Amino acid sequence: MGPGGQSGRGGPVLEVRRDYRCCDRFAGTATTARTSRRRMLKAAVFGPQDDLVGEVSGQKARRRPPTGLPAAGQLPRALTGIVHDVSPHVLVIGCGGSEQRIALTAGATAWRGGPVDPAGLQPGDQAVVRLDRSRRGVADRIWANIGRVTGVIVARDAHGLLIDEGKTKPRRLVRIPDGSAGRIQVRFPNLEPGFLIDVIGLKQSEALEARIPGTSQPVYPVDRLPTPPMVSGHAPTTIRGSATWHEPFEEPPGLLGVSYPALDPEAGCAEDPIGGGTAPRFARLPYLAIGSMLQIRNDCTDSACRLPVTGCAAIARLFNDRCVTCGTSPRGRIADLTLASFIALGGELERGCFNATVTMGR
């Protein structure tokens, strides 16, 4: 057992940390109100900034859909809940204290560790449902028990891998079943402490059962991160790279937001390196704060909307990977979206990422 893990009779036990807090995490309404106020105060100084700086030339700009805060009917909506009942035509899921009945059409598809028929979902599964854009009560796609672990391998033993997902999250246990081991090890050859991992799989009570590699493993361990390139002149306000999603933790369900890899270090985020060192970022992203607005576009589907920065992407900034969902993106993760916003922008959860363009206002 390596550092950070505790041996128990059943194998490694997650080391529960007490302090998960980020500098400004969207855990409560106080932070929400403060964030809204920031935008208002900024507008008081510089005027409302509805127009974000972006590329304005070329055909691509003309055919780009109108962008703004997500509005009803523009983007697909995600619904999260526990499956109460399922039949070939209706899915009943519990959201909080209420139940919601969702129609299943012939075109609906489902994922539960792999493609399954929607009727094959089990009561008790935690489902993420993408509703049809135009028909509110109709399911378009369902993911059951989907989970994702992105972080640094802390320890490895016969039971699995212990993963550190940053200081604001508890450590996670990842088990790699034999059936998926080959597929994962092709993309993650170094399953050793110190190396990064990003896997998607099925959530279980104690661990994540890895099924799909979320990306290709960077060749470097986290203590040997390559130096990011130097940038001269002004940092670009339109940046291309990979947009990923993360499992919600202390986030309100359904939040449309984005965790950003380059929050102002002076904000004192818990994710910042000890000693105040500069966190590495491979895409040279300008520093922003919680509440800053970003326009995020899925280059694969051309869906776009403005989203607020709701958290710090502590682990995402360690990756210099590319997304190859449609073409090859430049290196670096530029946005770590909440589950709902990833779905709203047309991402497929099991793919792990989409090629994205992030634009920020001056």
Partner 1 sequence: MTMLTHVLTEIREAQIPLLSAMLLGGSAAKVTRAVRVGSVDAGLGPTALFPMRLRRRVAVSVCAAEFVCGAALIVTAGRFGRGDLATGARIATSLLFLVATCALLELRANHPDVGCGCFGEFSTSPVGGRTVIRSALLSAAALSTIGLLPLQAPHPGADAGRLLGIFAVEFLVIGALSPELGEALVRLGYSEPCELRRLPAVRTLAALRRSSQWRRRAGLITAEVPLDMWRELCWRYVVFPARLGERQAEIVFAVHLRPHRPVIHAALVDSATGDVLAWPTTPARRGVIGWLIDRTLGPSTPFGLRGTGLAGSRDGGERERRGEGPADTDTDADAPAAPAAPAAPAALGPASGLPGRSGPDAEHEPPGVAGAGAASACGDQRAAGLLRIPAGMLAAPTDPGRGIPAIRSESAPPAETPGPQQPGSSKSASVQPAPEQPASGQPASGRPASGRSGQPRSAGTPGSPVPPRTPPDDLPFSSDL
Structure tokens, 253:
């369900």
Residue 177 or 361: which CB sits closer to partner 1? 361
Q: What CA–CA distance (Å, rounded) separates 162 from 156? A: 6
From the CB of 338, what's the least distance to partner 1, in Å?
9
From the CB of 96, what's the least distance to partner 1, in Å?
11
Sites for partner 1 among residues 190-219 (CB under 8 A): 192-194, 219
342 near partner 1 (CB under 8 A): no
CA distances from 286 to 102, 154, 244 (A): 42, 30, 19
227 near partner 1 (CB under 8 A): yes
Is the sign of the CA dihedral 43, 45, 46, 47 positive or negative? positive
75 near partner 1 (CB under 8 A): yes
Q: What CA–CA distance (Å, rounded) separates 26 from 248? A: 11
Residue 182 or 275: which CB sits closer to partner 1? 275
Residue 56 or 231: which CB sits closer to partner 1? 231
- Residue found by looking up tokens 């809204």 in the block: 36
Q: What CA–CA distance (Å, rounded) separates 316 from 282? A: 10
Q: Binding partner 1 by CB under 8 A: which of 58, 66, 229, 275?
A: 275
Which range in 158-166, 174-182, 231-239, 350-358 contacts partner 1 by CB under 8 A? 231-239
Is the sign of the CA dihedral 293, 296, 302, 304 positive or negative? negative
Q: What is the DSSP letter of 336?
A: E
From the CB of 248, what's the least distance to partner 1, in Å?
11
127 near partner 1 (CB under 8 A): no
Which range in 4-12, 86-94, 284-292, 347-355 contacts partner 1 by CB under 8 A? 284-292
Sites for partner 1 among residues 306-325 (CB under 8 A): 307-308, 310
Which range in 111-119, 207-215, 338-346, 351-359 contacts partner 1 by CB under 8 A? 338-346
Which range in 67-75, 209-217, 296-304, 321-329 contacts partner 1 by CB under 8 A? 67-75
63 near partner 1 (CB under 8 A): no
Question: Contacts by 185-191 with C-beta closer than 8 Å and gap 24+?
Answer: 186/213, 187/213, 187/215, 187/216, 187/217, 188/213, 188/216, 188/217, 189/217, 190/217, 190/219, 190/221, 191/153, 191/156, 191/161
Sites for partner 1 among residues 233-262 (CB under 8 A): 233-235, 237, 252, 254-257
Q: Where is 46: in which H helix or E strand?
A: helix 29-46
Residue 127 or 207: which CB sits closer to partner 1? 127
89 near partner 1 (CB under 8 A): no
Q: Binding partner 1 by CB under 8 A: which of 288, 301, 324, 351?
A: 288
* Span between the terminal Cα atoms of the chain, in Å: 48
Q: Binding partner 1 by CB under 8 A: which of 12, 25, 77, 271?
A: 77
64 near partner 1 (CB under 8 A): no
45 near partner 1 (CB under 8 A): yes
Q: What CA–CA distance (Å, rounded) separates 284 from 232? A: 11
From the CB of 9, what's the least distance to partner 1, in Å?
26
Contact residues for 184 (Cβ-Cβ < 8 A; gap 6+): 176, 199, 210, 212, 213
Give 259-317 as a DSSP string: EES-B-GGG--TTSPTTSPPPP-SS-PPPB-TT-EEEEEETTT--EEEEEEEEE-TTGG
Structure tokens, 198:
């990003």
Number of residues that bind partner 1 (CB under 8 A): 77
330 near partner 1 (CB under 8 A): no
41 near partner 1 (CB under 8 A): yes
